A and B are shown apart, each in its own frame.
Chain A
Amino acid sequence: DIQMTQTTSSLSASLGDRVTISCRTSQDISNYLNWYQQKPDGTVKLLIYYTSRLHSGVPSRFSGSGSGTDYSLTISNLEQEDIATYFCQQGNTLPFTFGSGTKLEIK
């Protein structure tokens, strides 16, 4: 199975900050990397798919980048509603696997 590593389990930032969350995979996943946001009430939404494509309705302050085994999600101009946990997921090979999540808090 492809292992997904999000080394930062929690992150504290101020409103208006630019925040970057990282995800590393155990092998090259050819950009099949997706990002999800989970709110404290458990609601999960797709933010970014295929490394950098913005899902419909997602604010443009979210962006993704990366290649090979290293990927990142960037939130520019952090807003209160961005308080959540962020997960990466690889769609290259079954079984699909997820990172352990990065919890974003406001400073």
Chain B
Amino acid sequence: QVQLQQSGAELMKPGASVKISCKATGYTFNSYWIEWVKQRPGHGLEWIGEILPGSGSTNYNEKFKGKATFTADTSSNTAYMQLSSLTSEDSVVYYCVRRGITGLDYFDYWGQGTTLTVSS
């Protein structure tokens, strides 16, 4: 069955960078877009962007350009999101998500979420 397993909670200092991982199992990793979504309490869900592992193609929400960088390792079926210049505004939960292949642009499987805390 399709599963996305994210890395554990992180505690980082302001100004640092962090890399969150998302290991995919149960499907052909190269063929599906991996999405990254941010959830702030009281602010709902926000789309950060996406990567297609097979080609390395990416799309970013303009709001997160310069903040987030996506990569993928097809040998280990793992996607990564690096967040740079961390501030308290980055202290939220991040999800990796698989986008369905049919062109209807829905997110059919979600990781369990990774909590990032930025504090000095």
Which of A's residues lie within 8 Å of B, judged by CB? 32, 34, 36, 42-46, 49-50, 53, 55, 87, 89, 91-92, 94-101
Question: Can you give 7 A-B contacts (C-beta < 8 A)?
Answer: A32-B105, A42-B112, A43-B112, A44-B113, A89-B106, A91-B105, A100-B43
- Chain B contact residue count (CB 8 A cutoff): 24
CA distance A32 to B108 in the complex (A): 14
A-B contact count (CB 8 A): 59
**Main SS of the interface on chain A?**
loop
**Main SS of the interface on chain B?**
strand
Which of the candidate stretches B19-27, B44-52, B68-76 sits at the interface with the other chain?
A: B44-52
Q: Are B106 and A34 in contact (CB under 8 A)?
A: yes
Q: Which residues of B contact A43 (CB under 8 A)?
A: 110, 112
Tell which of A45, A55, A99 touches B44, judged by Cβ atoms closer than 8 Å: A99
Q: Which of B61, B104, B106, B112 has the most CB of A within 10 A?
A: B106
Q: Are B62 and A49 in contact (CB under 8 A)?
A: no
Q: Are B44 and A91 in contact (CB under 8 A)?
A: no
| A43-B110, A46-B108, A89-B106 known, 7 other contacts, Cβ within 8 Å | A32-B105, A36-B107, A49-B104, A53-B104, A87-B44, A89-B107, A91-B105
CA distance A64 to B100 in the complex (A): 18
